[in-house]
């Protein structure tokens, strides 16, 4: 799959979906890419669904999405986004961490939606970066990863890292 977009090649985006990921966050990221392709009249973006083992992934709503590949395979994407939900670190293992670090070395911009930032931080990829996560997990994220400059915004972009809380903080 091509990494960077050009006039003839669409930009490659990988979505690493973790068990119990937020379907709302995932669809909110994919649909703008699909619409951009449609409005342009040509493919500007291509995306792949990646799971830890290459098998289907069950979202927090119980729906399953078929993966195109497993983590550990090619990691050459222009952008690689980790999408998680409840208990984000439960499925983390050294294979996933190594794969994310390899994507970083290959030049992928790394991102996270909802609680996906926990996995990037666990792999050491958010150290000394500004980042955010789902508002319900901000305190535990801040405590668990003191080397990350945690912000409470809806999204944060810092160099080649981008994180999105996926849901605005509820008003009290």
Q: Is residue 108 part of a domain?
A: yes
pLDDT at 7: 62
Average pLDDT over residues 105-132: 97
Name residues whose C-beta falls within 8 Å of residue 34's C-beta, 6 or more positions apart in sequence: none
- Banded model confidence at residue 3, pLDDT cuts 50, 70, 90: very low
Cα–Cα distance, 36 to 39 (Å, whole number): 5
Q: Is residue 25 part of a domain?
A: yes
How many Cα atoms within 13 Å fall on the side-chain side of residue 76? Answer: 6
Q: Are strands 109-113 and 64-65 parallel, antiparallel or unpaired?
A: unpaired
- Banded model confidence at residue 97, pLDDT cuts 50, 70, 90: very high
Whats the size of the chain, residue-wise? 172
**Residue 51 to residues 1, 57, 62, 170: CA-CA distances in angstroms?**
17, 7, 16, 30
Domain that holds residue 109: 11-127
Q: Is residue 157 part of a domain?
A: no
Asked if residue 124 has pLDDT above 50, the reply is yes
Phi-psi region of 114 (alpha: psi -120 to 50; beta: other; left: phi over 0): left
Q: How many domains does one find in the chain? A: 1
CATH of the domain at 63: 3.40.50.880
Q: Which residue, among 122, 120, 150, has the nearest Cα to 137 in the 3D structure?
A: 150
- Convert the pLDDT of each residue in 136-156 to its tens digit: 999 999 999 999 999 999 999
Three-state DSSP class for residue 110: strand
Q: Is residue 68 part of a domain?
A: yes
**Range with lowest mean pLDDT among 68-72, 93-97, 155-159, 164-168:** 164-168
């Amino acid at each position: 799959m091509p990494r960077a977009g050009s006039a003839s090649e669409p930009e490659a985006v990988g979505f690493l979906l973790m068990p119990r990921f937020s379907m709302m966050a995932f669809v909110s990221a994919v649909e703008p890419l699909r619409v951009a392709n449609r409005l342009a009249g040509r493919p500007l973006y291509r995306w792949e669904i990646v799971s830890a083992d290459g098998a289907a992934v069950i979202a927090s709503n119980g729906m399953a999405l078929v993966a195109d590949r497993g983590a550990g395979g090619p990691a050459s994407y222009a952008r690689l986004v980790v999408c998680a939900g409840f208990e984000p670190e439960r499925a983390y293992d050294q294979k996933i961490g190594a794969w994310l670090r390899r994507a970083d070395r290959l030049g992928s911009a790394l991102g996270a939606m909802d609680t996906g930032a926990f996995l990037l931080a666990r792999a050491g990829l958010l150290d000394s970066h500004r980042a955010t996560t789902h508002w319900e997990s901000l305190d535990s994220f801040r405590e668990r990863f003191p080397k990350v400059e945690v912000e409470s915004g809806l999204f944060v972009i810092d160099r080649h890292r981008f994180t999105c809380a996926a849901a605005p903080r509820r008003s009290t």
